[in-house]
Structure 1
Amino acid sequence: AAISGAGLGPARPARRALPASPSQLPCSNFVFLSGITYLDHAGSALFPESLLKAFTDDLRDNVYGNPHSQNISSRLTHDTIEHVRYRILQHFHTSAEDYTVIFTSGCTAALKLVAEAFPWIPEGTKQPSSRFCYLTDSHTSVVGMRGITSSMNVLSVPVKPKEMLLSEKNTLPPEEQNCTTPHLFSYPAQSNFSGTKYPLSWIHDIKSGKLCPTEIPGKWFVLLDAASYVSTSPLDLGVHQADFIPISFYKIFGFPTGLGALLVSNRIAPFLRKSYFGGGTAAAYLAGEDFYFPQKSIAERFEDGTVSFLDIIALKHGFDVLERLTGGMENIKQHTFALAHYTYTVLSTLKYANGAPVVRIYCDTDFSSPDVQGPIINFNILDENGEVIGFSQVDKMASLYNIHLRTGCFCNTGACQMHLGISNEDIRRNLQAGHVCGDDVDVIDGRPTGSVRISFGYMSTFEDAQSFLKFIIATRFSKSDTAVPFQSSVTKLPTESVKSPVQDDYSSCNNANKLAPRMHILDRDLWDSSPAAVKTVKWQPQGTETESIRAAVSETAVPTWRRGGKPITVTNIYLYPIKSCSAFEVAEWPVGNQGLLYDRNWMVVNQNGVCITQKQEPRLCLINPSIDLKQNIMIIQAEENPGKEAVICESKVCSHRVKTYDCGERIAGWLSTFLGRSCRLIRQSSDIKSNKHQKNAKGLTPATSISLSLVNEAQYLLINVASISHLKDHISARLEEPLEIQELIPRFRANLVISAPESFEEEEWAEISVGSLRFQVVGPCSRCQIICIDQQSGERNKEFLQSLSAARGRKVSVILQSSRIARSGECFASLGHATMVVLQRTGPAAF
């Protein structure tokens, strides 16, 4: 079957496990997923609308009080919670005779509880000491338990999966099996990295002594990390009787978050230790002396304080809705595996024209059975030469197709090392180079630091798998790739380009309701809330800003001739007063202590105070701010009215917290009307300095501390016209249509546009000067999805980032920070008048 809009391979085998009634299909409960391909179910399930409705209806119909009280509403809460405990045990095919449910804030909190409460015997006692063993393919939260055991003088022993499979050799002789020293072995029922399902039979084999992780005598208990497994597979604790089973409910239902449980075998529960006691855990205690007697119930002993009772009540509806929509966990298991198996089969057979594989899949199975493999596929994309394309680059490309996936090492360093061949020394060296968990440093010295993961849930559809595969094909093959043979029933790739799942139609932008032609932000006291301030939002330049505005421009640069007599000149200067809005081009401009004066001092935020950029709202590029330095006025042209008073608030820019001023209701209304969504305009507080520090190309933090405005990485962004011209030719060839250089330059949103003799030579510079101003080159800038947005129309074209990725690995421009400024308030002069001098370079040859 050809991969096309009509279908990828055979028709929809993955739907068979779910109820046939259209009204019961999961998709009818997930209308908010329209146009979205959500493939991060291992990170979190999504909640159906019927779950929220059932829960909110329950809250409207009943009054739930604190369960520690004795009134009618409190007794209702207590009884409902106990019913939910029963439902949880029933879901896992066990009962209160065998297990106790202890509610926690999540799986991590449950694991921490086990580490603190387990009856460890430390080193140095007269009897044999305990061991904490864990599979190296474990979540960070499991490995982190060793921090607690270490403080208790208990040794931790990591065990690799291959060693565990051979651990029958470690079976202890009968005379040593009578030792009662308690040991704990933890392993995941399903790897959150690769989806490998480890044998549940290990539970019985370890507890019976058939398997022994280490040759240490004692009694073994088993902690089964089931958080990933139970989201898509049934777990029968009547058969596989682990001693501790931590879970997080959002992995199953999507809602509520921040709620988990520890299922504890009643055989081990009486031996658990606890020193702290919170509200509700004490049967009696004295405040004046050390006397405490715990509650009789195991759950009450360990549930410190008031449990999250409304969230627990929501679980009841979660179980009801899950059963009604799917028919049970076995159906979910079969459905999700069918989708994963299909996707794996197609993905593993994709080849370039030269026969090289498109992806490298990290797995321990051949996806032949849902009993050994979960619905998780972990991989890296390769180019035609077999080089890994960084996961951060893949993530940015996927977002253009509205595909939600996950990248990195997924809080599982052990599995990441095992599958990617990353040594312990590599981890240490990467850390010294500045790479930490969760950042976007995806390739170091040509080797990947992480990978890409997709995962399916019960609400996933066959179309989701198709959309993902079409995304891979569209981004890895050009239009000229008419057919690439598979080693399976799929015989060829499409010749046509694949359309984005989300239609980005901004053609109506210019035909929107015409509001007032512009709005002004005038220079007056920011704190003025009098009636006279109703029509304006004002700012008062302070400190170095005032000096910068008054600074005279006196730039007489002497050209430095080099390479055939061609100088490097600054051709354009741009600033962006409002983050992600249109550029304001100037011929000369003052320099403040954060870069170009007023550059990215304002930003638009949503109703939750989160910054809105063109990634979420491309129409921001149609808002044109400009600043009149003489009148201290910012004019915003697009179509409407200004706002009122300012109040202090906080916001975040790219996860960095900054102090800001709110610019008032009327401007908020103007922006909300134009953009068609609730938003506000805020300004960065002038007395707050950012603590962000940018590493340079060598991975070293500059010695001087820098102050940033609302920029992402550094004070200035620089592009070279020669480099953009080189890229233009590459993109034009892929688009099969001509492009103008002036159409491309605004997409890079640079502060400084320069004309240098050779393309990409700027990547070798270490320090430059423009007139009397000196700048340190921090390094190349990783371009994001905004490059795909036409800054004149707001229209999106994914081909631009794809072409940039193919040509330059996504990095074209460089970022700068002030190295030395002779006097705050000096100005750039541009349009060929300011000659740039390269003071240092990192490349091997001198100019």
Structure 2
Amino acid sequence: MGSLHIQHDGHNAEVEKIREEEYPMLKDSIYLDHAGTTPYPKSLMDRFAHEMTTNLFGNPHSASASSQLSTQRIQDIRLRALQFFNADPADFDLVFVANATAGIKLVVDTMRCLPTGFDYAYHQASHTSLVGVREEARSSVCLDNRQMEDWLVGDCPLKEEEEEQRPILFAYPAQSNMDGRRYPISWSSQVRHSEETETIRNRKTYTLLDAAALVSSSPLDLSNAQTAPDFVVFSFYKIFGFPDLGALIVRKDSQDIFASRRYFGGGTVDMVVCLKEQWHAPKDGFLHERLEDGTLPVHNIIALDVAMDVHRELFGSMEKVAAHTGFLVRRLYRGLEGLRHANGEEVCTIYSPDPELEQTGPTVAFNIHNSQGTWISLAEVEKLAMLKGIHIRTGGVCNPGGIASALGLEPWEMKQNFSSGFRCGTDNDIMGGKPTGIIRASLGAMSTIKDVAGFVHFMEEFYREDTLPVSLPVLPSPDLDSDTKLQLQPPLQNTPELVVKSITVYPIKSCAGFSVPPDTDWEVRPEGLAWDREWCLVHRGSGQALSQKRYPKMALLRPNLDFTRGELQVTYAGAGEILSSSGPPSSISVPLSKNPKMIVPKKSGTDTEQRSTTPTEESQGPKPRRILLSNESPILAITTTSVDALNASVAALNPEAQRAISEAVFRANLIFTPSHSSSSYDPSSSPSSSPSSPSSPLISGDGLNPKLKPYEEDTWSSVHIGTNKHGFQMLGSCRRCHMVCIDQKMGEKISGGEPFVTLSKTRRFEGKVFFGVHMGLAEEENAGSGKVVKVRVGDVVLPQV
């Protein structure tokens, strides 16, 4: 065992050197999403560029010299790709497709053209692309391991039809893309032989193997055509990182099934008659000639040749890659398995098989829970991992059967989650007390011991608890009737006295804020502050609202509400850096009020384009609903005391932090501060120009404000603001994401991932990170006054607990 470790350590050192020279994009990153795609080496791109600039490749359907060169290279590369899997070209043919899914669809499109159609069986660990085949089948069934064992001894789950002898297509993964579990290649031949049993006599069974996850880090041996699957699909980019190309390998003994295919594309026929008669003659040579519709992706295929060369030079055989990744996944599994909270509870629930006990791929699927057993949100893990340069996959990972089985999710639960708003990619990933997905860490040829150790350290630093977790205070439910609320509420709290330090509205969602002048009364409506998040910028390609999470420079779009001119004026603060005189304008103006040619409803989200509004006749369409574009609540508030306490924590936990965290990063509407203190209300200050400092006088010798404790706002049930004591109900604490790591003045990400990193250590409750509080107008309390509710900078704030 010792010599084996020395051997692996020696190879790891070689990979570290390769990483430094060939994978500069991985510097300062821990890349653990090789099951998604593996990175490509620098020399691959350099050599491919050389191929493209020193050779002239034409369309292979032509007869020119450049076309003949393309045809020759494609033929050679096709043969080489078959040999990569020990597939004899006498027994197999290889069809180039876009990816593994395209290969699956090609098989399905063929089988649905059969006069009888087909029946379909698939393993529960199948990728979504295999599950979707069932929609084209006459009947289908999803099998678990026990049902598979029954089938292999003759009990077919698809019974014999009385009138039709439909063929059966059986599909399964060679390796689960979710948890790395491997399934026997021998199932293919065993299932084919099961057609000889009495149960399904005269029904031919075809097997489809999804090898995409397996071949990324392990060899696939198709040397025995009698036991090989009928169809094998995979993607080359999973192996080499580049090019974006896939393949379907067909066992020639089963290729007759494609005779039923109806569609034909350019290059797949020898003759086509269109006038007066509809007739065509498919090519009758190699199968791939009939299936590769249109012009092949010549350049991608040329790149594949280069990729195979470079991969072998760097990493040797796939057997060597498998040994290296197998060594690493054992270390990763043991590292995660060994994490324990101070009370002895496990940090991780692991769904992947133990690589010491079973043959498995270099993938570990797991979830995290705190010391009390509460599940940690996948979205929160993803946010923090992103800030620390860690690349993982979270969610359903396109494996619905595997996820349901691992997490114990019944069909009714999954449909209930969907009815409750759950969608793929959303943040509400803990529903009904259960996670809806998993965390997946997967390794590849260029992974190293350092990657594994770094990820385990990340898990230990942020998710292993040395003390018992605390909970946020539970606020009275907004659903209670007013009389009950009054009974539950204590008298107004008179000390400490707080004042409104600043009021900020964000007319355009995710852009910079507009600071309300100190001498201005600002209207508050049930949906929030007037003119707050009335507009958003929409990507014209996707239709999605843009956010600073992806576009940090949005912070440099500075709005100004000019009520004298009736305009929203927007200026790009970085115009001098990147805009030229011939480029787009650095500022635009948007009308605020209605006129005969333009409708801009004050209280509705507004569809915008270049000038932010679309000319509309007033009579067209129904009156818009009153909505705002706020994420969770009408108003967001923070306190300077909590910001100062957070800065003190940042200084203590991250001495390398370069500067104090500004209040502006939290994008609050209202900032409260204790009165009669040197850092409280200052009419000349604004959240964008007055960052809190760790040395602020608000922090006393013991680290706490003698008048207002840090995070005391979490305990408030309501506040009253101003001389009229307008009532506001607290709606809960604000869940934070890595958007707080964007410098709102520069439009850049703050180095070191602060303050989110420190918040993750000091302000995580039930797996989620919180800072600040949501609040909204208490409509019932203010309804009787008959007055418009207004607030201004300097107003006294009286909290209730």
Partners in 2 of 1:198 and 1:723 — Cα distance?
57
Q: In structure 1, what is the equivalent of residue 56 of structure 2?
A: 63
Mapped to 1, the partners of 2:419 and 2:196 lie a distance apart of: 39
Question: Pairwise mapping of residues 723-734 of structure 1 onto structure 2 (< 5 A)?
Answer: 724=642
Residue 141 of structure 2 corresponds to which residue in structure 1?
A: 157
Give the Cα–Cα distance (whole angstroms) in 1 for the partners of residues 733 and 15 of structure 2.
54
State the partner residue of 2:207: 222
Partner Cα distance (2:778, 2:406) in 1: 42
Aligned CA distance change for structure 1 residues 646 and 625 (closer, same or farther; 3 Å): farther
Task: Give the alignment partner of residue 413 of structure 2, picking from 395, 413, 426.
Answer: 426
CA contact (8 A) 1:362 1:419 kept: yes
- 2:612 is aligned with 1:686: yes
Q: 1:409–1:808: structure 2 CA closer, same or farther, 3 Å change rule?
A: closer
The residue correspondences of 1:588-599 to structure 2 (distance < 5 A) are 588=520, 597=531
User: Quick check: 1:338 aligned with 2:327?
Assistant: yes
Q: Does structure 2 retain, via aligned residues, the 8 Å contact 1:581–1:622?
A: yes
Please give the alpha-carbon distance, in whole angstroms, between the structure 2 residues aligned to 1:598 and 1:759.
Answer: 22
What is the aligned counterpart of 1:314 among 297, 303, 322? 303
CA deviation profile, 1:18-50 (whole Å, cap 9, x unmatched): 795987x34421011100111000011111111
1:276/1:806 CA distance change after superposition, 3 Å:
same
Cα drift, residue 477 of structure 1: 3.9
Does residue 367 of structure 1 match 2:355? yes
Q: Does 1:804 align with 2:763?
A: yes
* 1:64-115 CA distance string (max 9 Å, x none): 1111111111111111111111111010101221111112121111111111
Matches within 5 A, 1:22-421: 25-118=18-111, 130-149=118-137, 154-170=138-154, 181-209=166-194, 218-239=203-224, 240-257=227-244, 259-272=245-258, 273-288=260-275, 289-296=277-284, 297-363=286-352, 365-368=353-356, 372-421=359-408
In structure 2, what is the Cα distance between the partners aligned to 1:22 and 1:837? 57
Three-state SS of the structure 1 residue aligned to 2:253 is coil
What corresponds to 2:599 in structure 1?
Answer: none
Q: Distance in 2 between matches of 1:745 and 1:356?
A: 37
Contact 2:759 2:769 in 1 (8 A): no
Contact 1:18 1:331 in 2 (8 A): no
Query: Residue 433 of structure 2 corresponds to which residue in structure 1?
Result: 446
Residues in 2 aligned to 1:193 and 1:447: alpha-carbon distance in whole angstroms: 18
CA contact (8 A) 1:582 1:622 kept: yes
Deviations 1:556-582 (CA, angstroms, capped at 9, x unpaired): xxxxx9741359986632235787676
C-alpha contact 1:380 1:388 (8 A) present in aligned 2: yes
- Of 349-358 and 158-167, more deviation after overlay is shown by 158-167
Deviation at 1:61, TM superposition (A): 0.7
Match of 1:749 in 2: 667
Say if 1:27 and 1:459, in contact at 8 Å, map to a contact too.
no
Cα 1:233–1:837, aligned 2, differ >3 Å: closer, same or farther? same
* TM-superposed deviation, 1:314: 0.8
Of stretches 301-310 and 11-20 in structure 1, the one that deviates more from structure 2 is 11-20
Between 338-347 and 714-723, the greater mean CA deviation after superposition: 714-723
Name whichever of 210-219 and 339-348 sits farther off.
210-219
- Give a deviation string over 1:738-783, Cα, whole Å, max 9, x none: x9xx967433212244699974468999xx9999999999987531
One-letter identity of the residue aligned with 1:748: F
SS at match of 1:278: coil
Counterpart of 2:295, as a letter, is T
5+ residue gaps, structure 2, are 469-487, 589-607, 616-622, 674-707
- Inter-partner Cα distance in structure 2 for 1:727 and 1:138: 49
Q: Measured at CA, do residues 140 and 163 of structure 1 come closer, stay the same or move farther in structure 2, by a change above 3 Å?
A: same
Q: Distance in 2 between matches of 1:718 and 1:770?
A: 21
- For residues 630-679 of structure 1, give each alpha carbon's deviation from its aligned partner in whole angstroms, at most 9, with x where no partner exists: 576667778957956797xxxxxxxxxxxxxx43599xxxxxxxxxxxxx
Change over 3 Å in CA distance of 1:401–1:287 after alignment to 2: same
Q: Distance in 2 between the 1:664 and 1:12 partners?
A: 61
Residues in 2 aligned to 1:383 and 1:582: alpha-carbon distance in whole angstroms: 36
Per-residue CA deviation, residues 657-714 of structure 1 (Å, 9 max, x unaligned), is: xxxxx43599xxxxxxxxxxxxxxx99641169xxxxxxxxxxxxx9746667x7x36
Residue 525 of structure 1 corresponds to which residue in structure 2? none
Q: Secondary structure at the match of 2:763?
A: helix
Identity of aligned residues (%): 31
Equivalenced residues, count = 681
> TM-score, length-normalised on structure 2?
0.73
Q: Distance in 2 between matches of 1:770 and 1:79?
A: 86
Structure 2 counterparts to residues 480-519 of structure 1, below 5 A: none
Q: Given residue 414 of structure 1, which amino acid in structure 2 is its aligned partner? A: G
Within 5 Å, which residues of 2 pair with 1:566-645? 566=493, 572-576=502-506, 583-586=513-516, 587=518, 588=520, 597=531, 640=576
* The 10-residue stretch of structure 1 (78-87 or 136-145) with the greater mean CA deviation from structure 2: 78-87
Residue 271 of structure 1 deviates from its aligned partner by: 2.3
Query: In structure 2, how many angstroms separate the alpha carbons of the residues matched to 1:304 and 1:397?
Result: 45
| Aligned counterpart, 2:736 | 783
The answer to whether 1:457 aligns with 2:419 is no
Over aligned residue pairs, what C-alpha RMSD do you find? 4.9
Match of 1:472 in 2: 459
Q: Could you say if the C-alpha distance between residues 577 and 200 of structure 1 is closer, same or farther in structure 2, counting changes exceeding 3 Å? A: same
**Do 2:82 and 2:88's aligned partners in 1 also have CA atoms closer than 8 Å?**
yes
Find the aligned partners of 1:646 and 1:578 in 2 and give their Cα distance: 26
Task: Name the amino acid aligned to 1:156.
Answer: S
The Cα of 1:439 is off from its aligned counterpart by: 1.8
Query: What's the CA shift for 1:803?
Result: 2.1
Stretch deviating more after TM superposition (354-363 or 271-280): 271-280
Distance change in 2, residues 1:480/1:298 (3 Å): same
The residue type equivalent to 2:149 in the other structure is L
Partners of 1:746 and 1:196 lie apart in 2 by 47
CA distance in structure 1 between the aligned counterparts of 2:447 and 2:149, rounded to whole angstroms: 33
In the alignment, the residues of structure 2 paired with residue 103 and residue 213 of structure 1 have an alpha-carbon distance, to the nearest angstrom, of 38
Equivalent residue for 1:830?
Answer: 792
Give me the whole-angstrom Cα distance separating, in 2, the residues matched to 1:458 and 1:408.
Answer: 24
**1:168 positional shift:** 3.7
Matching of residues 527-538 of structure 1 within 5 Å: none
AA at the equivalent of 2:503: I
| CA spacing shift, 1:355–1:772, aligned 2, 3 Å | closer
Q: In structure 1, how many angstroms separate the alpha carbons of the residues matched to 2:45 and 2:297?
A: 17
Do 1:205 and 1:211's aligned partners in 2 also have CA atoms closer than 8 Å?
Answer: no
Secondary structure in structure 2 of the residue aligned to 1:268: helix
Displacement of 1:734 in angstroms is: 7.9
